[in-house]
Amino acid sequence: MKKGKEVTIYDIASELKISVATVSRALKDDPVVSKKTKKKIFELAEKMGYRTNHFARSLRTQETNTIGFMIHELNSNFANSVLLGVEKVTTEAGYDLIIAHSSESYDKEVANARNLFHKRVDGLIASLSFDTKQYDHFKQFKDKGVPVIFFDRVEKGNDNTVVVIDNYKCGYEATRHLIEQGCKRIAHITSNLNRNVYAERYRGYKDALTDNGLDVDESLLLVDNLSEKAGIDSAHKLLKQKRRFDGAFITNDFVAAAFIKTLKENGLKVPEDVAVVGFNNDAIAHLIEPSLTTINYPGVEMGEIAARTLINHIKGVSNLQQLNTLIINSDLIIRESSQKKKKSKA
Beta pairing partners, 189: 222, 250
Indicate the pTM of the whole model.
0.79
DSSP secondary structure of 142-161 = HHTT--EEEESS---STT-E
Going residue by residue through the chain, which has 346 residues, state the pLDDT in tens, using 9 for 90 and above: 344 567 888 889 999 999 988 988 888 778 888 989 988 988 888 888 776 665 455 545 467 789 999 998 877 788 889 999 999 999 999 999 999 999 889 999 999 999 998 888 999 999 999 888 888 899 888 888 899 999 999 976 667 899 999 999 999 999 999 999 999 999 999 998 988 999 999 999 999 999 999 999 999 999 998 889 999 999 999 999 999 999 999 999 999 999 999 999 999 999 999 999 999 999 899 999 999 999 999 999 999 999 999 999 999 888 887 778 899 999 999 999 999 876 544 4
* pLDDT given for residue 53 in this prediction: 60
* pLDDT given for residue 58 in this prediction: 52
C-alpha 165/C-alpha 151 separation (Å) is 9
Range list of β-strands (E), the chain: 66-71, 96-101, 123-126, 148-151, 161-165, 186-190, 221-223, 247-250, 275-277, 294-295, 325-328, 332-333
Q: Mention every residue, 6+ apart, whose C-beta is less than 8 A from residue 232.
A: 258, 259, 261, 262
* pLDDT given for residue 346 in this prediction: 40
* pLDDT given for residue 345 in this prediction: 44
* pLDDT given for residue 76 in this prediction: 77
Residue 186 has φ and ψ, to the nearest 5°, of -110, 120
Beta pairing partners, 124: 68, 148
* pLDDT given for residue 215 in this prediction: 93
**Amino acid of residue 221:** L
Q: Report residue 312 CA to chain centroid gap.
A: 19
Is 218 exposed, middle or buried, given 0-12, 13-18 or 19+ CB atoms closer than 10 A? exposed
Q: Taking a C-beta distance cutoff of 8 angstroms, is the pair 98, 122 a contact?
A: no
DSSP label of 218: G
* pLDDT given for residue 4 in this prediction: 54
**What CA–CA distances, in Å, run from 37 to 12, 31, 40, 46, 192?**
12, 11, 5, 14, 62
* pLDDT given for residue 50 in this prediction: 77
DSSP secondary structure of 86-102 = HHHHHHHTT-EEEEEE-
